[in-house]
Amino acid sequence: MRRRILAALGGTVLAIGLAACGGEGAGGGDTAGERPTELTIGVSMPTQTSERWIADGKAVKEKLEAKGYRVDLQYAGDDIPTQSQQVDQMITQGADVLIIAAIDGTALSGQLQAAADAKIPVVAYDRLIRGSSHVDFYVSFDNYKVGVAQADALLVGLGLKKKDGSKGTATGPFNVELFAGSLDDNNAHFFFDGAMDTLKPFVDAGTLKVRSGQVKIEQAAILRWQQETAQKRMEDLLTSSYNDGGKVDGVLSPYDGLSRGIITALQNAGYGAGGRKMPVVTGQDAEIASAKLINDGVQNSTIFKDTRLLAEQAVVVAEAFLQKKEPQANDTRTYDNGVKVVPSFLLPVQTVYKDDIKPVLVDSGYWTAEEVAAGQAKG
């Protein structure tokens, strides 16, 4: 919207802009009466190296376009300056709502200030944007529960718990190692907290042993969620803590990409062959390559977060803002971004073991059986 561009440029120019643009879509405070075709939603996604963000971007775009909105979808290649620049551009080009999945949750405060000045509502998508009062809403999954589910899957895989939550038959002790996501992603902390709260009693009882001693999130974190970094850390852990013949029984991994790096390191060290059992490795996102690994009995599990539902929710929220309505939150307590508690809509998550692939992933149309067998999306 032309008026919005001017708004972003400052007060004096704004006054001229308002006079000059007449009935044109003004965004911000004035979108309620606009036709969807007059409105643009800027969608900023972090990276295309992970399938889930490709699926998220595609689903949000398609759902908004199906309602007639114009969509400016950008991927930032996991590069913070690129994302800042893309969001700046969305603002100056007159976006009416911004939907942002941040790379670094604290790096966008300048952009959010500019969005607020131009009265553009900002929806944080899956990753909370921190340190700014200008985050209007947050759509995500129950991130603490993701961590709990990952830890539970690890315990189930080791036989310490049953799927129904009751006590398992195994007694241990088991050697486990812990991985966490990128420290600049707010979710990484929720995942790790949920997991550690669940594992702590077993660690305290000596049933789970972390030979490396690396139990703090700062020690377990993998910057930008990179698969190769996780592989390297697993290799280092094997060298430093398991070169006396000790074996790893399980690895807490918060994301399928990391899990694949971890599995590669373990396989290179001889696990999963010649009678040496592959440790129980968890995951998240139900990525197709990992769905195959789970189907083949290599990876233990993943946590499925239906990105179709998240995209749908983002569209509902964006539309509410455009119609000047208050989006409906189902959590107004949990997500404090350091400046304010951001009203949130959180979706549930589901653990997927081998037996769940068909009912949860295939029957819902998320992946086809052929894709799972091939470990590749048809595109």
* CB contact burial 13-47 (16+ within 10 A = b; e otherwise): ebeebeeebeebbbbbebbeebebebbbbbbbbbb
By beta-carbon proximity to ligand BGC, the closer residue of 127 and 161 is: 127
CB-based contact 162:168 (threshold 8 Å): yes
Smallest distance, ligand BGC to C-beta of residue 258, A:
8
Smallest distance, ligand BGC to C-beta of residue 147, A:
11
Smallest distance, ligand BGC to C-beta of residue 300, A:
16
By beta-carbon proximity to ligand BGC, the closer residue of 51 and 96 is: 51
Could you give the CA distance from residue 36 to residue 25 in angstroms, rounded to a whole number? 10
Chain residues in the site for ligand BGC (CB under 6 A): 50, 52, 126-127, 181, 185, 187, 225, 255, 284-285, 305
* Neighbouring-strand partners of residue 351: 303
Tokens (6 digits) for 218: 């700062």
By beta-carbon proximity to ligand BGC, the closer residue of 181 and 194 is: 181
Block residue for tokens 């670094």: 104
Smallest distance, ligand BGC to C-beta of residue 259, A:
10
CB-based contact 1:40 (threshold 8 Å): yes
By beta-carbon proximity to ligand BGC, the closer residue of 55 and 238 is: 55
Could you give the CA distance from residue 73 to residue 83 in angstroms, rounded to a whole number? 12
By beta-carbon proximity to ligand BGC, the closer residue of 69 and 304 is: 304
Strands (E), the chain: 40-45, 70-75, 97-100, 122-125, 137-141, 174-178, 208-209, 250-252, 280-281, 302-304, 344-347, 350-352
Smallest distance, ligand BGC to C-beta of residue 1, A:
31
By beta-carbon proximity to ligand BGC, the closer residue of 53 and 271 is: 53
By beta-carbon proximity to ligand BGC, the closer residue of 250 and 254 is: 254
Smallest distance, ligand BGC to C-beta of residue 18, A:
39
Give the 3-state secondary structure of residue 86: helix
**CA separation, residue 146 to residues 58, 143, 165, 212, 280 (Å):** 23, 5, 15, 24, 17
CB-based contact 258:230 (threshold 8 Å): yes
Smallest distance, ligand BGC to C-beta of residue 303, A:
8
By beta-carbon proximity to ligand BGC, the closer residue of 144 and 255 is: 255
Smallest distance, ligand BGC to C-beta of residue 236, A:
21
By beta-carbon proximity to ligand BGC, the closer residue of 53 and 174 is: 53
Tokens (6 digits) for 126: 């899956």
By beta-carbon proximity to ligand BGC, the closer residue of 136 and 256 is: 256
Torsion angle, alpha carbons of 188, 194, 195, 199, to 10: 150
Torsion angle, alpha carbons of 300, 351, 286, 209, to 10: -40
Tokens (6 digits) for 49: 């190296």
Point out the residue whose Cβ comes nearest to ligand BGC: 255
Smallest distance, ligand BGC to C-beta of residue 57, A:
13
Smallest distance, ligand BGC to C-beta of residue 325, A:
27
Cβ-Cβ contacts under 8 Å for 13 (sequence gap 6 or more):
6
**CA separation, residue 265 to residues 29, 140, 369 (Å):** 53, 31, 28
